[in-house]
Structure 1
Amino acid sequence: MTLWAAADAAEATGGRVTSDWRADGISIDTRSLQPGDLFIALSAARDGHDFVADALAKGAAAAVVSRVPEGVAPDAPLLVVPDVMDALRALGSAGRARSRAQVIGITGSVGKTSTKDMAREMLAEFGKVHAAEASFNNHWGVPVTLARLPQDADFAVIEMGMSNAGEIAPLTALARPNVAIVTAVAPAHLESLGSLDAIAQEKASIFAGLEPGGTAIYPAGLPTSPILDAAAADHAASCLPFGEGDLPLHLHDIRQTETALVLRAKVGRMALAVRLVNSGAHAAGNALACLGVAHALGLDLARAALALGRWQPPAGRGLRQKIMLDPVEEASFTLIDDAFNANPASMSAALALLAQTKPGPNGRRIAILGDMLELGPDAGAMHAALAGDPAMAQVRLVHCVGPLMAKLHAALPLRQRGRSTQAAEALLDHVHTLVAPGDVVLVKGSKGSRVSRVVDALRGLDTTSSQKKGLQCYSG
């Protein structure tokens, strides 16, 4: 199915086409480009124009360029524009404008991607869903997602992230969501924003892009919730705060089992139960926000709750796996892979999940924790404070990775101190000594801490042939 015809792309961007072409997709990376894609020659670490010839050789339908690159024929299929990034934004805006989809915009200090994936799973019960790839949530990721939006999609789920003040507003203006979610306000990006209030104000700016009649969904009961309340009141026709208490989205009860989180909630006047496989209590708010989306869009809430139960955490975001050390003796340990990102709030939630997961016979709870980055001048104190987290008392050993996590290592009682290394690579040759049958092992840290490499090494301990073919997840 054609996504962009040459004439439509030229009209959207004000550019000039060198020939007639039709593109089935959008690509910004020749490594993942598929035949028929429109290649966008963005410039970041490298100038995308240097890859246009390669893109065309791999079957790209055309390329968006600001000049004809060296080695590319003048009559090659091109869309020539004054500025490639501006053209991408224009394609995103045009993709949004021509779509019939109900658009859900999501931001927050934690839980953005998980909530996006939950919403995608839930909305697939009701129609065709288009959602952001991976974490395509920045100044180029959002327009790429919108430019890829099929005209016949019923729903679009757009994730919006930020590192500095003023980044959410242009993204929400582009996406023009019908429903906007703030998942949480927590100390992430303190280094650039300076305070929780500033973070809340930046997150709340997602509501400014709401379409007329739009709905704002956000957490109640936080110190910064009044900031969210005020922004929602200014821009939304309907406000759905979520949490405990007398709220439109009321979390009544949560129960943690060995293999799932069971939550009971009241959405409007309807009582619902949701079972989230391999999830901890931190996922309850994300699920409640998704039920708020279903409520705002007038969808069947009972079907929505059942559909949410099909979601599972992906790799790097709480995925739980059984790693077989000896198939004959059936000796294994449980790995909780939460190595994609970290801040104090998500770290506390991950430790709570570890504390609630029961080890096997003679097994231990072990945490391998990497630095939490971009926390500003109080970062060291925030890392050390994890020693006092209520869940930490249930953890037998803590291995610390990075100069900031060294502060936690020093703050822990001697009996809990495992290894402390400056870099994740220093643990790779020793992972076989860190685990034993029956253990439950949490690995968590910011992406820049590279603790995902420890996850890979732990997976490499699996002795079964099925593990060599792919991840072996279990759901109880």
Structure 2
Amino acid sequence: MRLTGDEVAIASHGRWVQDKVPSLISGIGTDSREFIAGHAFLALRGVTFDGHQHAAQVADKASALIGDVQGVAGWSALLDTPQLEVHDTLQALGDIAACHRRTLVQSKVIAITGSYGKTTVRSMLQHVLSGLGLEVSSTQENFNNLIGVPKTLMAVPEHADVAIIECGISEVGEMERLSAIVQPDIAIVTGLTCAHGEGLGGELGIAQEKAKLLTHLSPQGWCVLGLGVAEQFAKIDALNTQETVDMHHQYAVTWSLDRQRLTLSYQQQEAEFDLLLPAKHWAEDMALVAQTVLRLAQDLEQSWRLQQIAQLLQSWRPVEGRMHISTAANSFTLIDDSYNANPASMQAALDTLASLPGHRVAIIGDMLELGEQAECIHQQLDLHDIDEVLTVGTLMGSLQAKNPKHRIRVFRDAEALSAWLESKDFPPLGSTLLVKASHGTGLYRIAAQLKERGQHVI
């Protein structure tokens, strides 16, 4: 990011205190612990924190301080550093990011949302496009909310060929704001289910909110809709007028999976390769990514072929906590999918585990933010062909009564399971373990504990 002080003030509707205006702002930080010298410090305010209180720690190395009226009033001892006063710092963060977005005239900006698969599709797409020789800037870790998206966008260099921005929401109104900030050229909606149903008003509310990513799609932009999304958007009259690539359409990339052998097909082209796991949701994501890249080739005047894309997809590896595979030498295999969970991704992970040989163990915890149907949704999970199940949390524990023929052990929380693991010689030799739950359940700590049992190799 390279914006003048005046540009930042105009974008954020702010004013420079004492008319002290920096000539250039090359970045914005919001965490004093990770602050980069030369950037501006923007003080966020929340229910339990106030970034204004930490401005003194970075004032001597900041190009500017950005705060709200109340916060700036307390910075009288820091006037050697230029100070920008705004009405709301979170709003200003997004407005400044949107201003930088308008300078990215050479970049194709791709926004990704959906109830599941966002991070996997994002990492696959980044891997493929980078492998095809493009300069790609992308969301890191889980920076996909009203704070993370602006930070990700401001880090995109003006010479990037493609920027991939992951957009996640949990409350009504957030997606329209993210769309206004990102102003995507390409929008991808992976799929819809009742993730965050509690905050978004059930399945109908989820579809309505996710569709708002298309609100600020560029005039010549286009979108890619995962299986079932077009039908759900049509029900709420949310389909945009720009070009839509529907993965359910007969001319879209299709896939078939025979154990771990994936076949992708597009028009007269076909490509085959082996997946790390017999994961149908990976196959679906890869078809969506291939379709996106083939369509993007038209915009970039490239002649990429399906075989090229497939070769790159074959070398893709999942990110930590997302069906990440590790093996303890001569002991067991761990599939760490502990970062997060919703009904669709949980069932997909269970189906993948069930399709593997040997002794299969599912360590699964509560899926959060599902609303009033949460208990019913948990009880509907299919544990077919899984030999042993360890559940964590009240909601997932209800599976025991619904599946009397399955070997299910119930734990109230991750700490109770951790203590049990410490006292047992577990898991059995040759087992394959799946660890999955919503992040708030804490099962990522169980995955880390299991990884310590022997030397693991990817």
After superposition, the C-alpha distances for 1:334-363 in whole angstroms (9 at most, x for unaligned) are 11111111121111100111122333xxxx
Aligned pair in 2 of structure 1 residues 234, 425: CA closer, same or farther (>3 Å)? Answer: closer
Q: Report percent identity of matched pairs.
A: 32
After superposition, the C-alpha distances for 1:367-418 in whole angstroms (9 at most, x for unaligned) are 11100111122211221222xx1xx232111011001111012222255122
> How far does residue 110 in structure 1 lie from its aligned partner after superposition?
0.4
Given that 1:218 and 1:228 are in contact with CA atoms closer than 8 Å, whether structure 2 keeps it comes out as no
Given that 1:88 and 1:147 are in contact with CA atoms closer than 8 Å, whether structure 2 keeps it comes out as no
- The residue number in structure 2 matching 1:312 is 317
- The residue number in structure 2 matching 1:451 is 443
- The residue number in structure 2 matching 1:65 is 67
Match of 1:247 among 247, 250, 258: 250
The code of the aligned residue for 1:340 comes to: Y
TM-score of the superposed pair, with normalisation by structure 1: 0.85
Determine the C-alpha separation between the residues in 2 that align with 1:368 and 1:217.
34
Question: After superposition, where does 1:77-476 map in structure 2 within 5 Å?
Answer: 77-99=82-104, 100-124=106-130, 125-220=132-227, 222=228, 225-229=230-234, 234-243=239-248, 247-257=250-260, 262-273=261-272, 275-278=274-277, 280-298=279-297, 299=302, 300-302=304-306, 303-324=308-329, 331-359=330-358, 364-386=359-381, 389=382, 392-418=383-409, 420-432=410-422, 433=424, 434-462=426-454, 464=455, 472-474=456-458
Tell which deviates more after alignment, 194-203 or 343-352: 194-203
> How far does residue 267 in structure 1 lie from its aligned partner after superposition?
3.4
Determine the C-alpha separation between the residues in 2 that align with 1:60 and 1:255.
56
> How far does residue 80 in structure 1 lie from its aligned partner after superposition?
3.3
TM-score of the superposed pair, with normalisation by structure 2: 0.88
> How far does residue 22 in structure 1 lie from its aligned partner after superposition?
4.5
Determine the C-alpha separation between the residues in 1 that align with 2:164 and 2:364.
31
Given that 1:3 and 1:148 are in contact with CA atoms closer than 8 Å, whether structure 2 keeps it comes out as no
Aligned pair in 2 of structure 1 residues 71, 268: CA closer, same or farther (>3 Å)? Answer: farther
Given that 2:111 and 2:184 are in contact with CA atoms closer than 8 Å, whether structure 1 keeps it comes out as yes
The code of the aligned residue for 2:453 comes to: L
Determine the C-alpha separation between the residues in 2 that align with 1:21 and 1:288.
47
> How far does residue 50 in structure 1 lie from its aligned partner after superposition?
1.1
| SS of 2:34 mapped into structure 1 | coil
**Hey, which bits of structure 1, 4+ residues long, moved more than 6 A?**
230-233
- The residue number in structure 1 matching 2:8 is 9
Determine the C-alpha separation between the residues in 2 that align with 1:157 and 1:207.
15
- The residue number in structure 2 matching 1:328 is none
Determine the C-alpha separation between the residues in 2 that align with 1:267 and 1:207.
26
| SS of 1:282 mapped into structure 2 | helix
> How far does residue 95 in structure 1 lie from its aligned partner after superposition?
1.2
Tell which deviates more after alignment, 188-197 or 145-154: 188-197
Aligned pair in 2 of structure 1 residues 83, 169: CA closer, same or farther (>3 Å)? Answer: closer
The code of the aligned residue for 2:242 comes to: A
After superposition, the C-alpha distances for 1:10-39 in whole angstroms (9 at most, x for unaligned) are 343344273536554432222333333332
Determine the C-alpha separation between the residues in 1 that align with 2:238 and 2:205.
18
Aligned pair in 2 of structure 1 residues 212, 191: CA closer, same or farther (>3 Å)? Answer: same
> How far does residue 115 in structure 1 lie from its aligned partner after superposition?
1.0
After superposition, the C-alpha distances for 1:29-53 in whole angstroms (9 at most, x for unaligned) are 2233333333221112311111112
Determine the C-alpha separation between the residues in 1 that align with 2:416 and 2:13.
53
Paired positions, count:
441
| SS of 2:331 mapped into structure 1 | strand
- The residue number in structure 2 matching 1:35 is 37
Determine the C-alpha separation between the residues in 2 that align with 1:191 and 1:233.
21
Match of 1:76 among 77, 81, 92: 81
> How far does residue 273 in structure 1 lie from its aligned partner after superposition?
3.8
Determine the C-alpha separation between the residues in 1 that align with 2:333 and 2:73.
54
Match of 2:50 among 47, 70, 76: 47
Aligned pair in 2 of structure 1 residues 3, 165: CA closer, same or farther (>3 Å)? Answer: same
Determine the C-alpha separation between the residues in 1 that align with 2:447 and 2:335.
9
Determine the C-alpha separation between the residues in 2 that align with 1:97 and 1:238.
22
